[in-house]
C-alpha cells in the first residue's frame, strides 16, 4: 500500500465517470486529469488543457488521491478496471503513481493509461516511469489529427500500444465501442469514447 503521503497527494481532475464501456475492455471507472501542455493540433479536449497547477489556472478543484481511490474501490465489484485519460495524466505523475499503486494492491482491477507522451519520453523520465509502473496498458504518443483513427483506444494511428502485462491485447481493444452516451440520475447526458462527438 502507498503511504499516507501518497493518499494525500493532490490531484486536479477534469471529470470522473464511475462506469463506462467505451474507455477500454469491460466496465471501467474513468478519470480525466485536468491540465495538458502538449498542444496537439486538432485536440478534441481543449477544455482539459488549463493548468494542473494552481498558478496556471484551470477550473477544476483539487481532490486527493485517497478520495478518488475510495470512490473507485467502492465500485470495484462491478468493474474490470480503471482508465486514466485527460488532459494529460502524466503531467501529475505523483498522483497517478500513488493512485495506481493503491488501486492495484489487491483489488484485481486493471489499469489503462492514455497519454500524449511517447513511450520514449516516459521511459526517459523517472516520475513518468513511476506513474505507469502499475499500468497494464499504456496508449502513448501525441494525437495527430491527420492520422485520425478512433479505434482500439487510439485517437490517431501513430499512437503506440504499449502492452505491459498482456491483460489487454489489441484484439480486445478493437471491440470497444467508439461512442457511449451515459444518462445521469439528473438526466444529464455524457458522451464518451473515441468518437469525435464525445464528452471531454
Ligand atoms: S495530449 Fe491529449 S489532451 Fe493534450 S493536447 Fe494532445 S490530444 Fe489534447
Give tens-digit pLDDT for 21-55.
Answer: 999 999 999 999 999 999 999 998 898 998 755 55
The length of the chain is: 200
Query: Beta-carbon neighbour count of residue 7 at 10 Å?
Result: 18
Cell of 55: 498558478
First-to-last CA distance in the chain?
31
H helices of 35-180, in order, are 65-74, 93-103, 119-123, 126-131, 170-174
pTM greater than 0.85 (yes/no) = yes
Which of 23, 45, 48 should be mutated for ligand 1, with most atoms under 8 A from CB? 45
The residue whose CA is least distant from atom 2 of ligand 1 is 116
pLDDT in tens, 72-89: 999 999 999 999 998 999
Cβ–ligand 1 distance for 25 under 6 Å, the answer: no
Sign of the alpha-carbon dihedral angle for 6, 68, 23, 200 = negative
Cβ–ligand 1 distance for 105 under 6 Å, the answer: no
Query: Beta-carbon neighbour count of residue 169 at 10 Å?
Result: 12
The residue whose CA is least distant from atom 1 of ligand 1 is 116
- Rounded to the nearest angstrom, the distance between the alpha carbon of 4 and the centre of ligand 1 is 31
Q: Tell me the C-alpha to C-alpha distance, in Å, between residue 124 and each of 86, 118, 120.
A: 21, 10, 6
- Rounded to the nearest angstrom, the distance between the alpha carbon of 99 and the centre of ligand 1 is 21
Select the more confidently predicted residue: 106 or 34: 34
Cβ–ligand 1 distance for 156 under 6 Å, the answer: no
Q: Which residue has the cell 477500454?
A: 24
The residue whose CA is least distant from atom 3 of ligand 1 is 87
Residue 101 binned pLDDT confidence (cut-offs 50, 70, 90): very high
- Rounded to the nearest angstrom, the distance between the alpha carbon of 14 and the centre of ligand 1 is 13
Amino acid at each position: 500500500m502507498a503511504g499516507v503521503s501518497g493518499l494525500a497527494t493532490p490531484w486536479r481532475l477534469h471529470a470522473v465517470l464511475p462506469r463506462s464501456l467505451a474507455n477500454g475492455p469491460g466496465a471501467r471507472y474513468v478519470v480525466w486529469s485536468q491540465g495538458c501542455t502538449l498542444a496537439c493540433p486538432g485536440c478534441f479536449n481543449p477544455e482539459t488543457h488549463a493548468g494542473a497547477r494552481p498558478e496556471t489556472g484551470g477550473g477544476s478543484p483539487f481532490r486527493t488521491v485517497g478520495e478518488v481511490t475510495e470512490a473507485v474501490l467502492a465500485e470495484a465489484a462491478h468493474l474490470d478496471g480503471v482508465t486514466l485519460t485527460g488532459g494529460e495524466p502524466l503531467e501529475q505523475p505523483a498522483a497517478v503513481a500513488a493512485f495506481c499503486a493503491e488501486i492495484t494492491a489487491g483489488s484485481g482491477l486493471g489499469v489503462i493509461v492514455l497519454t500524449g507522451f511517447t513511450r520514449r519520453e516516459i521511459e526517459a523520465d523517472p516520475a513518468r516511469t513511476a506513474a505507469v509502473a502499475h499500468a497494464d496498458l499504456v496508449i502513448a504518443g501525441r494525437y495527430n489529427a491527420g492520422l485520425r483513427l478512433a479505434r482500439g483506444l487510439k485517437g490517431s494511428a501513430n499512437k503506440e500500444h504499449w502492452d505491459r502485462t498482456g491483460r489487454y491485447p489489441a484484439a480486445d481493444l478493437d471491440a470497444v465501442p467508439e461512442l457511449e452516451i451515459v444518462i445521469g440520475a439528473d438526466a444529464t447526458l455524457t458522451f464518451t469514447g473515441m468518437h469525435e462527438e464525445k464528452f471531454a
